[in-house]
C-alpha cells in the first residue's frame, strides 16, 4: 500500500509530502495505481522546481517507493496551489481504488478547504 502524509509549515499551510510504499494493485510495470501516484507526485515536485522560486529538500528511493519533499522556506502561493492540486488527485485515486492500495493523510481535505 502507498501511504501519503502531508507536511505543514508553522502557519498550518501545506508545505510538502511523504509518499512511501507500493500499491500492490498489479505486478510491477503494470500497476496503474503506482503509476498514477508517481505521475502526480513527480509532476508536483518538477512543477515546484520549474515554476516557482521555492527552495525545497527532496529524498527519493524508487525501490522502497519513497518520496519525501518539503519546501524549506515560506511556501509561495504558486507552490501551495501545486501541492493542493496533487493532493486532490491523490484523494481521487484513493476514492476510486480504495484504502487497500493507497491511503492519503485524512487531515488533508480539511487543509485544502481551509486554504481556499
This prediction has a pTM of: 0.92
Is 37 within 8 Å of 1 (Cβ atoms)?
Answer: no
The partner residues of 71 in beta bridges, in order of sequence, read 56
Per-residue confidence band for 111, with pLDDT thresholds at 50, 70 and 90:
confident
Q: How far is residue 15 CA from its own chain's centroid?
A: 10
For residues 17 and 11, the answer to whether their CB atoms sit within 8 Å is no
Helices (H), the chain: 32-51, 77-97, 108-115
pLDDT at 110: 79
pLDDT digit string, tens, across residues 70-93: 999 899 999 999 999 999 999 999
| pLDDT (tens digit per residue) in 49-69 | 999 999 999 999 988 889 999
Amino acid at each position: 500500500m502507498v501511504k501519503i502524509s502531508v507536511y505543514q509549515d508553522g502557519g498550518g499551510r501545506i508545505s510538502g509530502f511523504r509518499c512511501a510504499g507500493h500499491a500492490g494493485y498489479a505486478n510491477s510495470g503494470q500497476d496503474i495505481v503506482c503509476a498514477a501516484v508517481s505521475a502526480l507526485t513527480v509532476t508536483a515536485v518538477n512543477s515546484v522546481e520549474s515554476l516557482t522560486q521555492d527552495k525545497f529538500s527532496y529524498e527519493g528511493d524508487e525501490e522502497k517507493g519513497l518520496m519525501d519533499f518539503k519546501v524549506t522556506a515560506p511556501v509561495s502561493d504558486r507552490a501551495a496551489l501545486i501541492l493542493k492540486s496533487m493532493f486532490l488527485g491523490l484523494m481521487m485515486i484513493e476514492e476510486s481504488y480504495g484504502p487497500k492500495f493507497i491511503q492519503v493523510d485524512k487531515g488533508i481535505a480539511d487543509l485544502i478547504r481551509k486554504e481556499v
